[in-house]
Structure formats: C-alpha cells, structure tokens
Chain A
Amino acid sequence: MTGIQPLAAYALALGDDALILAQRLGEWVARAPQIEEDVALANIALDLLGQARTLLSYAGQVEGAGRDEDDLAYLRDDRDFRNVQLTEIPNGDFAVTMARQLVFSAYQYELYTALRNSADETLAGLAGKAVKEVAYHRDHATQWVLRLGDGTDLSRARMQAGLDQVWPYTEELFDPADPASQLPGVAADPAALRPAWHAYVTAVLSEAACREPEPRWRSRGGRDGLHTEHLGHLLAEMQHLHRSHLGATW
C-alpha cells in the first residue's frame, strides 16, 4: 500500500481504525458483565463497521485499482493495515475497554465534527452522519468511566489501571505525520483535534476521581503499518473464512 495517493490513504487509515475496533468490540458479545452491555458494545461495533464500510469502499474507489471494501478488509496482511495501535490492543477487562472507548470515541467525535466541513463530499457526508452515532458512544463510555471511577475502591483502582494501560497509545491518534497533512481542506489535522479531545477526557477523569496517566513511553507506527503482535491474531480470526472460501457468495 505504499505510494497510494493521499486521499485513498487517509480514508484507509480512518476506515482501518473503525474496522479493527469494531472487530475487537465484537469479542465482548456474550462476555460482557451485563446483557445490556453485550447489546451496547455490539451496537457500537456495528456503527463502527458501517463507518469502515463507507471509508474502505471509498479508499478502493479513489485508488482505482478495482479493490472493493471486502478486498481491503479481508485480503491485506497486517503490515498493510493503517490503524493506530490503540484499536488493536486486546480488550483487557471491562475497565480497559471503557478507557479505550472514552479515548477513541472522544477522538472520533472531534474528528467527525471537523470533517463535516471537509471539501470532500463523501467524507463530509459520512462525518455528518457518524458524529451523531459517535455522540452516543462517547456518552456511553463517559457514564461507565464515571460509574467505575467514582464507585468503590476496587472499581476505582481497576478504572485507573485501565486508563494507565491505554494512555501510552493515545498520542498516536494526534500524530501529524499521516496522510492528513497532504490534504488541506479535505482531512482534519490530527494535532488540531487534541485540545478539544484533551479538555473532554480530562473533565471526565476529574469528575470520575481518576488522574490522567503520565506514561513513560508511547506507541508509534500504526499509520505506517507497524503494529503490535496482537493485530495478526485479530486478522487471522477476521479474515480466515473469507480467505478459505475465496470468491464465495451466498
């Protein structure tokens, strides 16, 4: 996927974020602490999958090499995926998942809010729709972080541990190096999303009686195809059926 044009690369990066997190959240189905959470996490995953389908279809269309959403989702290997590592790390316990949901949904909320004004019609159209869905995701994560953080000593300790585990992966969302910098007026500058994101999450953490972690390392490389060892395992499960029955339809 090196050398593809910036718009296709940008749509692919955003689409991969949504696709990989959708797959991760799907793992919660039948394992969440309450049946309502099975349903909630599956719904959020479904919204993300819808965003991914639009973005990957568009990436394939812009690329012009005849690849559709399925080709891009099922027939690329891990080094060709452009998602940030935040989306691929294992779910951990429920608090880790909620910490990631808070970080990611607050990021996507700012991202889609900005993209509503994109000069690109497809991105603007998707953003106008997705921002309404993501508002629900963000509210869901917020309520859980508040409930766990401002709960018992045990729930607060586990919520804080979840935040500590997720925080090293947050800065990658705002790195300016991805294809966005080559698409003024079309893409949202990731660095410009950070202040509003940071204001939102720190307000939630403060109300939840949790502290903002200060990690001593940070992840890098997802947008360049450098991933954790976890992505390959995720793809093996996600892609296996499609690759075993290439071209099958039903």
Chain B
Amino acid sequence: MSDTGTSPAPASRAALLAVAQAVPDPELPVLTLGDLGVIRDLRVGGDGAVEVDLTPTYTGCPATAVIAGDVRDALRRAGADQVRIRTVLAPAWTTDWMSEAGRRKLREYGIAPPGPAGGPVKLAFPVRCPHCGSADTREVSHFGSTPCKALWTCRSCAEPFDSFKAL
C-alpha cells in the first residue's frame, strides 16, 4: 500500500470482497455469505463505484433482499460510497458451493449440512443427526422453517433437527 492513498481501485477489490464475504447470513448468522457462496463477483469501477453480483439461494427466499441491504451497508462502512447490487440467476446456486468451514459451522449450530447435490432424493448419503451423529434418521418433511431446509428427526436420540437441503 502506497502512502499517497489516491488510487484505491486495484488493491481494494480484494479487501472489499473480503468485507462482503464476511457479512453474516441473516437467517443463519453462523454462516457468512462467503461460506454460503452467494457472492459471485465484485467489481470496482473507475469512478470507485462498487458492483456486487449476488445469487439467491432460492428464487423466493425473502432473505435475498436483506442480504443485499447488509452487503450494501457493510461496503459503505468500508468506504465505498456507491454500491450497486446485481442479482444473478445463472449459474444457479448450488449447495456444493458451500465451504467446508460453513458445513462444519452448520453442524455445530445443530443443522445437518447438505450432502452432494444432484437431485431431491439422495439415499446414498445418510443425513447424520447434528446432535448425536447417528445416521439412523428420517425425513419428516421435505420443507422446513426456511426454503433451504428440510425437517428431520433422529431415531437414536429422538431429537428433531433441520437439514440443509442439497440443491
């Protein structure tokens, strides 16, 4: 970093991206947006305007608007005056983009992390209970408290739990 401090553009892209990636998910605050993989790109224009490509997890997920607002606020606090959020649908978000750290944090939080994506029914990969680790679990409902989760229960410890749907 030079001490003139007048041309922030090339060096600050990485810093701004890190700021955006570190924003917590509003529904699952243990995860950052970087863990989720929803920030697809960030560009700094010649005029210093910052443009962020954001992909929604589900098309109707109400958290998408909150996420956009949180990213805008975080970037403004980091010194970006002009922030534009672009919603990008393609390529479609997949749980395969979730980081290993994100999967570990989910499990610690009490939510079973997603298995490999590919289809709605994956019997080959048992969903493990995030409380006791048992693979003797069953799906109660495909759908849960948010679009990205399904409702499961554990036969070993009898606890219900959320499972992040592979998508």
Contacts and interface: CB of A to CB of B under 8 A. Distances in A.
A126 B60 contact: no
Contact-residue bracket for chain A: 20 to 34
Nearest to A126: B89
A129 interface: yes
A54 B59 contact: yes
Contacts of A36: 140-141, 143, 151
B89 A46 contact: no
Contacts of B56: 50, 129
Interface of A, secondary structure class, is: helix
Interface string B134-164: 0000001111110100010000000000000
A43 B119 CA distance: 18
B61 A50 contact: yes
Contact-residue bracket for chain B: 20 to 34
A40 B143 contact: yes
A223 interface: no
Contacts of B94: 132
Contacts of B121: 139
Given A39-B151, A48-B60, A50-B60, A140 B89 contact: no
Interface string B92-125: 1110000000000000000000000001110000
Interface in B48-63: 56, 58-62
B167 interface: yes
Contacts of B93: 129
Interface stretch (A4-12, A117-125, A224-232, A241-249): A117-125
B5 interface: no
Contacts of B1: none
Interface string A110-146: 0000000000011011101110110110011000000
B120 A129 contact: no
A122 B88 CA distance: 9
B165 interface: yes
5 contacts: A37-B141, A51-B60, A53-B60, A128-B89, A128-B91
Interface of A: 36-37, 39-40, 42-44, 46-51, 53-54, 121-122, 124-126, 128-130, 132-133, 135-136, 139-140
